[in-house]
Structure formats: structure tokens, C-alpha cells
A and B are shown apart, each in its own frame.
Chain A
Amino acid sequence: MMLDFDASPYGAFVWPAFAITALVFAGMIAASLAHARRWRARTETLRQTAEAAEAARRPTPTEAPAP
């Protein structure tokens, strides 16, 4: 099958429609991935901070009371 890319005399309407669709899809993909990655990274950072704070609160073996 031959592909027909000659949209004349309607090229001024057909190609912008495809270009805008491609841009909107690219925007949806980029925004969705960026949103997920940003919050995943933030969650990991906060989790590590919380674990470090928890470890600092835990008594060290030398400080532990004798049985």
C-alpha cells in the first residue's frame, strides 16, 4: 500500500492537527513521568531521613541498660 502524505489543498489544517496531537501526547507523557519520578524521589528521601532519625533515637549498645 502506498502512503499518501500530500494533503493539499488542506495541508494547512491536516498537519497542524497532527502536530498539536503529537505535542499534547508528548506533554502528557512528560508531565506524567515527571510527576511520578519527582514524588518517588521525594518519598525515598523522606523515608531515608526518617530511618536515619529512628536509628539515631535508638539506644546504642553501650548506652543500653545492663540486664
Chain B
Amino acid sequence: MAHAMIPAPAFLSNPERFMAFSRWAAPMFGVIAAALALAGLYLGFAAPEDYQQGDTVRIMFIHVPAAWMSLFVYACLGTASFLSLVFRHALADAAAQAAAPLGAAFTALALITGSLWGRPMWGAWWVWDARMTSVLVLFLFYVAYMALRAALDDEAKAARAGAILALVGVVNLPIVKFSVDWWNSLHQGASVFRADGPTVADVFLYPLLLMGLAYMSAFGSLWLVRIRGEVWRRRAEALALRAARA
């Protein structure tokens, strides 16, 4: 049995323990996110204009972390879906369901803020560039996942169908990441997470990293809040069903 071979993370295996943990962890991550965002915005607006991008470089401090989160949240959605499919654990499915709207919001932010940067720098709101197109596909996977879940009344069937769709979408993650290497693209290659170190000047790198950590903490906080909401929703539906049968 898969249950015996692969131990699920402890917090995923016990809803009561998860609820106790998330009760204090969600607000803690929220406070950390606010502090990091304040520090990142301060350094971001204290940074000089870029010699090529001018003041539009400040859009990078909110655009790039949104793009990182669009991939990271989908990786979380894929992992939770895999655990849900293998372990049939309700909390893993709740985690997947809770991640989708947040991931869609981060992806939409990446697309919109990227467009607002692209218009003055590239002279176009949108181009069918490999990176932008693959991120649009990522957004559509989030929307399709949510639509599929909403369309099926049977919770177990919705969980299974959603998990399979989410796992299919995982194929798109390396395409987004390596699209700038595989095809000609207006986007530059990786400039922060590189084997030989970042190529971004420190004065831009530090606010960018702080904002990245702020987005990550904000996601951590909101994800926990949404999973708690999902746990309560499922408890409410179980209680309503029991009352209807009594």
C-alpha cells in the first residue's frame, strides 16, 4: 500500500494538528509578509532609476515576484494534487483547492504588471513571446482547474478530476522556466537564480529578493487561511448531510 511506503507529511495527515498549527502560523506569516513588503518597497523606491529602463524598473519589484509565485504556487498545487491522488487524503485535496485561486491571482498580476512594463519598454502591451504565452497557458490551467472543480458536485470525483488536470499542467512549468532558453524571446534569461550568481546590481537585487520573500510569506498566510476555510466547509457539509439523514 502506498500509505505504508510513503509517509505523508505529518501536518497533512492530521487535520486537527493542521488546524492548531495554522491558527498561529497564518497570522505570523501575514505579519512577516507585511514587514518584508515594507522593507522591500522602501529599498525599491530608494533605488536609483535604471540607466535603460528608467523608473519602470520599479515595476520589476512587483512583477518578478508575482511571476515567481505563479510557478511556485502551481508547484504546490501539483504536489498537493499528487498527494491527494496517491493518499486520497482530504487535507491534501483541500490544500490543492485552496492554492488555485491564489495562484491564478499571482499569475494574473504577473501578466498585467508585465504588460504595463512592456508597453513603454518594448512598445507593445502584448507579444506572443514564448515566456508570455506559456504564462498565459499557466493562467488558463488555473482557471480550468477551478472551473472543473466548480462543475462537479461529487466532491470525490471533483478531487480526482482536478488532481489529474493539475498534474497535466505541471508539464507547463519547465516550459515557462526554460522558454527563454529554448526559443527566441524578448525576455532575458535568468538573472537572479543562476549557478554563477545573480547578474543584477545589489541596489536592485535586495528589494527584489525582499519583495519575493514578502510574496512568499503572503502566499503562506493566505494558503493556510484558505485551507482552514476548506476544512470548515467540508465539516459543514458533513454536518448538514448527517442532519438531513437524521
Interface set of A (CB-CB < 8 Å, partner B): 1-11, 13-14, 16-18, 20-21, 24-25, 27-29, 31-33, 35-40, 42-43, 46-47, 49-50, 53
| B92 interfacial contact with A, CB 8 Å | no
A38 to B62, CA, bound (A): 31
Chain B residue with Cβ nearest A1: B46
Main SS at interface, chain B: helix
Contact A20 B226 (CB under 8 A): no
A27 to B101, CA, bound (A): 11
Contact B56 A13 (CB under 8 A): yes
Contacts of B112 in A (CB 8 A): 17, 20
Closest 10 CB pairs of A and B: A36-B229, A39-B232, A46-B239, A1-B46, A7-B55, A35-B229, A39-B233, A17-B116, A43-B236, A42-B236
Closest Cβ of chain A to B204, distance in Å, is: 13
| B198 interfacial contact with A, CB 8 Å | no
A46 to B62, CA, bound (A): 42
Contacts of B3 in A (CB 8 A): none
Interface set of B (CB-CB < 8 Å, partner A): 42-43, 45-49, 54-56, 58-59, 62-63, 66, 101-102, 105, 108-109, 112-113, 116-117, 119-120, 218, 222, 225-226, 228-230, 232-233, 235-236, 239-240, 242-243, 246
Partner of A47, one of B42, B46, B229, B239: B239
